[in-house]
């Protein structure tokens, strides 16, 4: 396994960014290229070769590919699918700080990600203006120091593990000096798409603090968790990090009971418990990933029928203005 910082930075630098390269690498037909190029103009393609290597050759419907390949459907205007579906701008508390829920504040530490997920609810987020790393963390830390009711800080983005070990360790050191903070949470997809990022330096940064660390990773399909990923997750678990997963329910990727059950099993084998299964946020360009409520609830019922309760994720939706992520419940049918 790669574990030095030079290696993961090299892996990032050599990620596939040209749709033509992605199609060629996977021996996919050329007719996908025009749509991919057009959509990539809006939100660029980015996929590390490590993740690409887990996709099937010649299969345009591969569930991993579908998450990252720009396509013509992204250009469709669909009513209800908007630029900021979760009303992040209203939750802004300071430069790079969002608060929606009691006791928890989210820090947008960087706009960068190791992979670009086509369904991302932040695909239109104005990172230039809302990126604590770019501004320096001073103002965000000052806000947190004043916010005595915040007990948990969530490093998010973009992807916080795009920061190097020194910057992360420095940020975490400063957070640990804020007395009312009790927990550090990290929301990241990096250990899934680039397991080599889990270096000794990263483990030291995350565990060398008084703040217990909860990491919420993001995998949507069991095939994302190969041996290298499982190894990286197991190392973090052994280092004392609590590991959870959030997935997004995505048409053509994981909208199937067997697929979701296999994901939970693969996560558990890698020391990760399923946390949330999110309904797709209605972000412009992602309507082709939507699964309707009725099907989502039926899938959840199916999962309950085959898995122990602790491997069934909470099916939730973000409702702008609500005081928590809301569980999906059966719609009352009139008699």
Ligand X SMILES: *Cc1c(COP(=O)(O)O)cnc(C)c1O
Q: Which is nearer to ligand SF4, 116 or 288 (CB)?
A: 116
| Contact of 132 with 95, CB cutoff 8 Å | yes
Of the candidates 115, 98, 116, 114, the one whose C-alpha atom is nearest the C-alpha of residue 106 is 98
What is d(CA 213, CA 284) in angstroms, rounded to the nearest whole number? 33
Which pair of tokens denotes residue 277?
């299964």
Applying CB under 6 A, which of residues 54, 66, 122, 288 lies at the interface with ligand SF4?
A: 122
Site for ligand X in 136-165 (CB under 6 A): 154
- 91: contact with ligand X by CB under 6 A: yes
- 100: contact with ligand X by CB under 6 A: yes
CA 178 vs. chain centroid, Å, equals: 27
Q: Which is nearer to ligand X, 239 or 316 (CB)?
A: 316
Q: Which residues contact 289 (CB under 8 A, 6 or more apart)?
A: 118, 119, 248, 250, 251, 252, 253, 280
In the chain, what's the furthest Cα-to-Cα distance?
64
| Contact of 300 with 260, CB cutoff 8 Å | no
155-184 footprint of ligand SF4 as x/- string (CB under 6 A): --xxx-------------------------
Q: Which is nearer to ligand X, 30 or 323 (CB)?
A: 323
Q: Which does 262 bind (CB under 5 to 8 A by kind): ligand X, ligand SF4, none?
A: none
- 317: contact with ligand SF4 by CB under 6 A: no
Applying CB under 6 A, which of residues 28, 64, 113, 272 lies at the interface with ligand SF4?
A: 113
- Pairing outcome for strands 104-108 and 273-278: unpaired
User: Angle CA(310)–CA(315)–CA(318) in degrees, nearest 5?
Assistant: 135
Q: Which is nearer to ligand SF4, 13 or 331 (CB)?
A: 13
Q: Which does 113 bind (CB under 5 to 8 A by kind): ligand X, ligand SF4, none?
A: ligand SF4
Q: Which is nearer to ligand SF4, 100 or 218 (CB)?
A: 218
CA 284 vs. chain centroid, Å, equals: 18
Minimum gap (Å) between residue 205 Cβ and ligand X: 21
Minimum gap (Å) between residue 105 Cβ and ligand X: 7
- 185: contact with ligand SF4 by CB under 6 A: no
Q: Which is nearer to ligand X, 154 or 229 (CB)?
A: 154
Applying CB under 6 A, which of residues 59, 73, 81, 101 lies at the interface with ligand X?
A: 101
- 273: contact with ligand X by CB under 6 A: no
> For 189, phi and psi rounded to 5 degrees?
-105, -5
Helices (H), 244-308: 257-269, 293-306
Applying CB under 6 A, which of residues 15, 32, 52, 115 lies at the interface with ligand SF4?
A: 115
Starting at the edge strand found earlier in the chain, the sheet holding 326-327 runs: 92-94, 97-101, 104-108, 152-156, 183-188, 213-217, 242-248, 273-278, 314-317, 326-327
Q: Which is nearer to ligand SF4, 181 or 194 (CB)?
A: 194
Binding site for ligand SF4 (CB under 6 A): 113, 115-117, 120, 122, 157-159, 189, 218
Question: Interface residues with ligand X (CB under 6 A)?
Answer: 91, 98, 100-101, 104, 106, 154, 324-325
């Amino acid at each position: 396994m790669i574990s030095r910082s030079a290696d993961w930075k090299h892996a990032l630098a050599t990620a596939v960014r040209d749709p033509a390269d992605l199609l060629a690498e996977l021996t996919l037909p050329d007719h996908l290229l025009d749509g991919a190029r057009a959509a990539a103009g809006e939100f660029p393609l980015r996929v590390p070769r490590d993740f690409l290597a887990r996709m099937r050759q010649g299969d345009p419907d591969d569930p991993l590919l579908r998450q990252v390949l720009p396509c013509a459907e992204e250009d469709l205007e669909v009513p209800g699918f908007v630029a900021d579906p979760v009303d992040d701008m209203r939750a802004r508390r300071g430069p790079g700080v969002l608060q929606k829920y009691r006791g928890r504040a989210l820090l947008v530490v960087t706009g960068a990600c190791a992979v670009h997920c086509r369904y991302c609810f932040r695909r239109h987020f104005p990172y230039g203006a809302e990126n604590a790393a770019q501004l320096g963390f001073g103002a965000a830390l000052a806000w947190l120091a004043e916010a005595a009711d915040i007990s948990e800080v969530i490093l998010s983005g973009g992807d916080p593990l795009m920061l190097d070990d020194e910057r992360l360790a420095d940020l975490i050191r400063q957070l640990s000096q804020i007395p009312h903070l009790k927990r550090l949470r990290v929301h990241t997809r990096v250990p899934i798409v680039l397991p080599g990022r889990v270096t000794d330096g990263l483990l030291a940064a995350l565990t060398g603090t008084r703040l217990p660390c909860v990491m919420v990773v993001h995998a949507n399909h069991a095939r994302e968790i190969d041996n290298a990923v499982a190894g990286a997750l197991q190392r973090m678990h052994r280092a004392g990090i609590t590991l959870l997963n959030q997935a997004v329910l995505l048409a053509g990727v994981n909208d199937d009971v067997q697929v979701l059950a296999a994901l939970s099993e693969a996560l558990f084998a890698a020391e990760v418990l399923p946390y949330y299964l999110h309904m797709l946020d209605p972000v412009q360009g992602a309507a082709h990933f939507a699964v309707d409520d009725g099907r989502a609830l039926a899938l959840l019922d199916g999962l309950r029928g085959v898995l122990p309760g602790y491997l069934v994720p909470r099916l939730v939706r973000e409702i702008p203005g609500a005081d928590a992520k809301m569980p999906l419940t059966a719609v009352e049918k009139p008699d």
